[in-house]
Amino acid sequence: MSAPRPTRKKNPALAAAGVSQADQPDSLVVRFGMDQPLVLDSGATIAPLQMAYQSYGKLNARKSNAVLVCHALTGDQHVASINPVTGKTGWWETLIGPGKIIDTNQYFVICSNVVGGCLGSTGPASTNPATGKPYALDLPVVTIRDMVRAQAMLMDRLGIESLFAVVGGSMGGMQVLEWASTYKDRVFAAMPIATAPKHSAQNIAFHEVGRQAVMADPAWSGGRYREKGVLPEKGLGVARMAAHITYLSEPALQRKFGRKLQDRDAPTFSFDADFQVESYLRYQGSSFVERFDANSYLYLTRAMDYFDLAADHGGILAKAFEGSKTRFCIVSFTSDWLFPTADSRAVVHALNAAGALVSFVEIDSDKGHDAFLLEEPEFFATLSGFVSAAAKARGLKMTISDPHLSSGPGARVDLLIIADMVERGSRVLDVGCGDGALLKLLADRKDVDARGIELSRDGVANCVTHGLAVIQGDADTDLINYPDDSFDYVILSQTIQATRNPRRVLEQMLRVGRRAIISFPNFGHWRVRYDLLIGGRMPVTENLPDAWYETPNIHFCTIRDFDDLVRDIGAETERALALNASGKPLRLTAPWWFWNVFGEQAVFLLKRRPD
């Protein structure tokens, strides 16, 4: 199938609709008078101020079910309804609507056009009451924080003191982070998606190319093009083409277009759009000009460039979230090179340092930055589980427990023993938490504040899907991001042998937690010795189920080896158990050699020795 051909003739009805929407949008509007100015980061003010928004669903009696959706750079308030300019469906209808993940039968959803936008909120295309002409560049430059301040004013006008959730991707995710930092007490749950705590130099560079393309168009006229009845179509079209490339990934472009020609069998040896990808980009640029204001593009890209959350807090990102009680779910995508996973991890590390409740998953997708707007089942499942768990905590609705997260008698023996060691109501971090079985067990039986770290993407997605606060991370590298004494217990079950540096991991566990609980397979068990001695082969047992060439185990230790390590790092064994092949504890008074020979696995409860 050929890519869409570029529009060669503009649609005057669309262009006219775009102009009219700036002042009189086809959506709900709130107006603030001269006595309620929006005070900007620059020190300037905007007054009067207009905020255009759409809402879906109903606000409950307690006003506790409000969800604010923040749109991306070229988005608008029509998140789940027909756009009056383009006639297209809402840009996030896959996620928002009756019976969907953000269920408008359950939640009151609000999405506002940002300040600086062009679909009804005060922006450069809006009429300046002082002149009767469009603001153009007379509008003060706005920042992400300015956008959020205006949204907070809108929430105040709607009588919503506390938002159940704030969600958004890309520039919308920046707004979510700003909300969670500036208005900590007003946000119960935050979902920043495919975003960053600051704009990178590369992204600023791409934006500058786009802005220069707009301003180099003679029709731009110093920003006064609307007064002259013209539009900088070529410049804005080129800016959109360049930006659109950054939203996609190379695999996505290759899969969709490759080097296929557009409606021809051979090259024309000209500068026409020979390739489908060229035609596609020209179409994107042409259609964008019809629905978006060029000056708004300048303002919003500049707002993103200025965003640097850590810089507003002495250069320390964790300070932006100090004291936060907000629940976070952070999502990135493997092929997103505009806002790569490293940006999301920076936020996760800051939240961990601040002691915030955070889940994080990197979704495997080859669709690039735009993946958050597309059909991604794993992404949807993750958000669905997080929203359901947050709603339950908020007292909005119940979730259904998952049968795969067993907390009953069928749970692993070592997990039951670990759960017995943990005091009720404790703060627990499970490192290498797998599918979350232990976290679920502890939450159900001991009412703990349970959090986890898991390296497997599938494991993290499964945990978050079922409402568990788990981040995608590595025991060897991520424990260092937690402050001292963040938890009562740090747990590592059947994983220490798979870490790269067991000593460092154990030391970090005892720094982060008051106590550490470790279970591990005993490589000195008689069955292991027998297989090596008689069979001459590496053993395969219930606790060591993998063949030597595919085992995750890096380090092999016996119970005695582990006890020596505990003493070597200056820790104290508070309790230890060796379990036989049937999962029964061996005699506590048995000598070490007996535990070493007949214990198939061990569980140690450790604490730091007093200084």
N-to-C CA span, the chain: 72
Neighbours of 214 (CB within 10 A): 24
**3-state DSSP call for residue 476?**
helix
**3-state DSSP call for residue 469?**
strand
Cα atoms in the Cβ-side hemisphere of radius 13 Å centred on 307: 32
**For the purposes of burial, counting CB atoms within 10 Å of the CB of 162, is it exposed (0-12), middle (13-18) or buried (19 or more)?**
middle
Q: For residues 490 and 507, give the distance between their C-alpha atoms in angstroms, rounded to a whole number.
A: 11
Neighbours of 350 (CB within 10 A): 24
Q: For residues 301 and 338, give the distance between their C-alpha atoms in angstroms, rounded to a whole number.
A: 14
Torsion sign (Cα): 115, 67, 338, 180:
positive
Tokens of 347: 């936020």
Q: For residues 259 and 398, give the distance between their C-alpha atoms in angstroms, rounded to a whole number.
A: 51
Residue whose pair of structure tokens reads 């590592």 in the numeric block: 492
In contact, 106 and 57? CB cutoff 8 Å: yes
In contact, 407 and 441? CB cutoff 8 Å: yes
Tokens of 432: 């290498």
Residues labelled catalytic: 170, 336, 369
Return all residues near 593 (Cβ < 8 A) that are at least 6 apart: 560
Our CA angle for 418, 424, 426, nearest 5°, is 85
Residue whose pair of structure tokens reads 């500068």 in the numeric block: 271
Q: Residue 96 forms beta bridges with which residues?
A: 102
